[in-house]
Amino acid sequence: MAFLLTWMKSKPVPPERVATDTVFPLHTLDDTNIARSVTLHLSLRYDDVLDVDKLGGALQRLLEKPGWRKLGARLRRGEGGKLEYHMPAKYTKERPAIDLSHVSHDMPMAEHAQGCKLPRSSGSIQMSKNASLYRTLLVSDDSPTQLDDWLYSDRPQLHLHVVSFTDATLVTVTWLHVLFDIMGAGILLSAWTAMLEGREDDVPEFHGFDSDPLATLGAPIDETQLGDASQVEEYVYENRVVSGWKMLRWVLGFMWELLVYRQEETRCVVLPAALFKKLKSEALEELSSIDPMAMVTDKSNRPFLSDGDVLCAFLTRLIVSSQPWLPSARPTKTIQVMNIFGMRPLLTETSPKLLPKGVAYVANCSTSISSFFPLHEFLSLPLGHVAARIRSDLVVQSTRPQIDANMRLSRATMAKTGGHPPLYGDADMLLASFTNWTKSKLFETDFKGAVIVTSGKAEGGHVVGKPTAIFGDATTKGFSVRNSGNCVGRDQDGNWWLGACLRAETWRNLERALDGIR
């Protein structure tokens, strides 16, 4: 009985409801099992000393603007377990719009025990150390890391942590994935810089404050305005949904991997501009040996590959080729490359138009594009051929009818499974996801309005007020991002910053592979 009473007393209790708070539900694409399980930490390194009060003040003023106030709301669990926002009628010192913490070190960053471990571009390909070696430098001890940290406190959605050195500043923004995706983060950073520079008129209207603009996306056909239902497309991979015992086998296989090989690491890879230029040039040349019908061409009818196509092919192939189990794998084992696709432009430009032009949609607005390869083909094809397949799949699956079909199937599956999205492919496949953050323009986040002292460095890509390095990190609960990779973007020198979460042994193999590329 004493134990039971102790357990009951220790059970967290959510804060009492504040009668003056405005309450509204989360959007459909925000309140998902995956988004609930992932806390994101976006860290920007500036080789300048920044004024913390100016940085925090500009962000707080942004969140006082109409619509933008939503980003300071408190997260609560409502009826049926659904999440909802409770927005204070007024932000005060006791209930601020943001959490702000600041640590100052009276030394250059290079002399700090963890600061010296932070990766930076050097002109050659390199791989960073495990992010755990410097994670406590980038985030505060009080930084939230899971859903419960918000539910059982009265903390706002955004946590801003600033670390100052005598020659540099680290700025980290932490949020639960239900708030917005990485493109939403880019929109927030752009509006933040406008406030910092006194350009309030440049802050776009906040769209989707208390209603869901994407509520009809993926709705059953009879609830949409798509016209003749016979003209509605089926999703191209609808017949490859993994279900039943196949789903059970895939889940057990992935769980076994996580239980037996528990240690996983998040690291970044810096790809020099010259090396990437060579990789892309060779990839385009390799298209001369591919079936013209399998290629995507530009307006001049020339073979086309985007930078993202090449980077996706390059990184995912590195991840797959470095897997410790590779020597014993079946040559026909399925490899799925899951390319995350931002939907904002498509939903702005195609009918029915769900997002107006020129507004800020700071929420989750992405889906996935799938490419399938047999293992032997994925590793043996020229890089350009793999990139061309990824580009072709993106073109086919990113049409409005296909996005509608994909989202319709996703919504129906989540309704049946309690929030789990559909999985496509085979029971024993490797799923390697890739997210390209380049269009969020993170490296253009200009904080020169807060610069106190510049390092005076004229080389190494240093532009006063712009980041010289960006680190993406995540903490998860009940979910793993293992075998996922991302492209953070391109710095001022043209170097590409890539990242991934892999098991430790995979990273050791990948490092050897990078040594062969150098």
Can you tell me the distance from the alpha carbon of 209 to that of 310, in angstroms, rounded to the nearest whole number? 37
Strand partners, 499: 268, 486
Helix axes 307-321, 273-286, angle to 10 degrees: 90
Residue among 122, 183, 186, 178 nearest 151 (CA): 178
Kindly report the CA angle at 334 between 390 and 183, in degrees rounded to 5? 40
Q: Which pairing describes strands 22-25 and 334-342: parallel, antiparallel, or unpaired?
A: unpaired
Structural contact between residues 432 and 484, judged by C-beta atoms closer than 8 angstroms: yes
Enclosing H/E stretch for 148: helix 147-151
What is the set of active-site residues? 177, 446
Edge-to-edge strand order for the sheet containing 99-104?
99-104, 159-164, 169-176, 38-46, 469-476
Instruction: Pick left, alpha or beta for residue 198 (phi over 0 → left; psi -120 to 50 → alpha; otherwise beta).
Output: left
Can you tell me the distance from the alpha carbon of 288 to that of 356, in angstroms, rounded to the nearest whole number? 41
Can you tell me the distance from the alpha carbon of 379 to that of 373, in angstroms, rounded to the nearest whole number? 9
Residue among 473, 294, 514 nearest 388 (CA): 294
